[in-house]
Amino acid sequence: MSPEALVADRVRKTYRVRGGAPVDALSGVSLRVGKGERVALLGRNGAGKTTFLKIASTLLAPTSGTVSVFGHEVQAEADIVRSSIAVVPQEGKPFFHLTPREQVYTYLRARGFDRASAKTRTGEALAQMELEEVADRLNITLSGGQRQRTMVATVIATEAPLLFLDEPTIGMDPFARRGVWESMRRLTRRGSTILLTTHYLDEAEALSHRLYIIERGRVLVDGSAEGLKKEVGGTLRVSIRGGQDLAETFSSFGSLVRDPEALHIITTPERLVEIMGVAVGMRLTATVGPVTLEEAFLKVVGRSIDAEN
């Protein structure tokens, strides 16, 4: 048995678009996910994350390159691969005319679980996603976040060896999100492997052992959240609201990240008093916090965008 849960080798995908130019969604993505790992794929909208997940989960054929899951090639051995994976698709919806309980149970039965274990697993998954109160109402009557929780419950109930989750916590409240994180951790403790995408970088940080940043169909960065944060050159972030044009004033204090709201100075505790002195002197609003994955992401992807332009 392969020691890796997933190995992707130079995966390319070009979508043919009727009447338009072809779209190069993936331009040679290679990555590895070890057994029992939780790995996050990050990247801007349109970077290629969903395309990759679809290829890796047998739903879409690559233009070239290969992906293997537990040593089985996803295209040549799709049936074997399907039996060891489960997928939460991006913007998936539960069947409207089933209840969450029926949805999870039916899915488990279709995957071959016997009645008794399907029933037990259904109860556990609904409890984990805190869906008991609405478990016997039609999905169509559920709120958006409750529907999404039903999608996640369906997949975690399988405890499949490899789980693909494409933005699993979209639209969930902060409690529900943490419930999903806890379920993910429990699954990997029991031996499952998880590949997820998310735009919530606090989630990526809380959850992933490793991460890949995909940009324009290529792997831009491969590492840990901690490693990536170190790369931005400091542990503190001073944010100057509306200070985007003040790069020159602050460039000597650390590395700078700009977003539409603020100028962020990534710096060290020793420089803090000086920076605050300048900010107060200029009557600027400055807030201080730890460097998060968000700054690292903005910096690394921003640098790549600048280099392309």
Ligand X SMILES: Nc1ncnc2c1ncn2[C@@H]1O[C@H](COP(=O)(O)OP(=O)(O)OP(=O)(O)O)[C@@H](O)[C@H]1O
Q: Does 47 bind ligand X (CB under 6 A)?
A: yes
45 binds, among Mg ion, ligand X, none (CB under 5 to 8 A by kind): ligand X
**33, 50, 68, 129: which one contacts ligand X (CB under 6 A)?**
50
Exposed (0-12), middle (13-18) or buried (19+): which is 3, by Cβ within 10 Å?
exposed
Q: Does 51 bind ligand X (CB under 6 A)?
A: yes
Matching residue, tokens 């700009």: 258
Q: Does 49 bind ligand X (CB under 6 A)?
A: yes
d(CA 58, CA 273): 55
23 binds, among Mg ion, ligand X, none (CB under 5 to 8 A by kind): ligand X
Size of the site for ligand X (CB under 6 A): 13
- For 100, other C-beta atoms within 10 Å of its C-beta total 28
Contact map string, positions 201 to 240, toward ligand X, x by CB under 6 A: ----------------------------------------
Q: Which of 294, 290, 174 has the alpha carbon at shortest distance from 228?
A: 294
Token pair of 104 as six digits: 């999870």
**1, 45, 270, 309: which one contacts ligand X (CB under 6 A)?**
45
Cβ proximity to Mg ion: between 131 and 201 the closer is: 201
Instruction: Classify 53 as helix, strand or coil.
Output: helix
Q: Which stretch binds ligand X (CB under 6 A): 28-36, 44-52, 70-78, 142-150?
A: 44-52
Residues 6-35 within binding reach of ligand X (CB under 6 A): 15, 17, 23, 25
Cβ proximity to ligand X: between 65 and 233 the closer is: 65
Q: Does 199 bind Mg ion (CB under 5 A)?
A: no
For 91: left if phi > 0, alpha if psi spans -120 to 50, otherwise beta; the answer is left
Q: Does 302 bind ligand X (CB under 6 A)?
A: no
**3, 46, 269, 290: which one contacts ligand X (CB under 6 A)?**
46
Do 238 and 265 meet the contact criterion of CB atoms below 8 Å apart? yes
Q: Does 75 bind Mg ion (CB under 5 A)?
A: no
Query: Residue type at 209?
Result: H
Q: Does 92 bind Mg ion (CB under 5 A)?
A: no
3-state secondary structure 23-78: EEEEEEEEEEEECCCEEEEECCCCCCHHHHHHHHCCCCCCCEEEEEECCEECCCCH
Q: Does 305 bind ligand X (CB under 6 A)?
A: no
Q: Does 48 bind ligand X (CB under 6 A)?
A: yes
Q: Does 90 bind ligand X (CB under 6 A)?
A: yes
Rg for the chain (alpha carbons), in Å? 22
Contact map string, positions 46 to 65, toward Mg ion, x by CB under 5 A: ---xx---------------
d(CA 37, CA 185): 10
Do 2 and 20 meet the contact criterion of CB atoms below 8 Å apart? no
Q: Which of 229, 224, 227, 226 has the alpha carbon at shortest distance from 210?
A: 224
The enclosing H or E element of 195 equals: strand 193-197
Which residues are near ligand X by CB under 6 A? Answer: 15, 17, 23, 25, 43, 45-51, 90
Which residues are near Mg ion by CB under 5 A? Answer: 49-50, 90
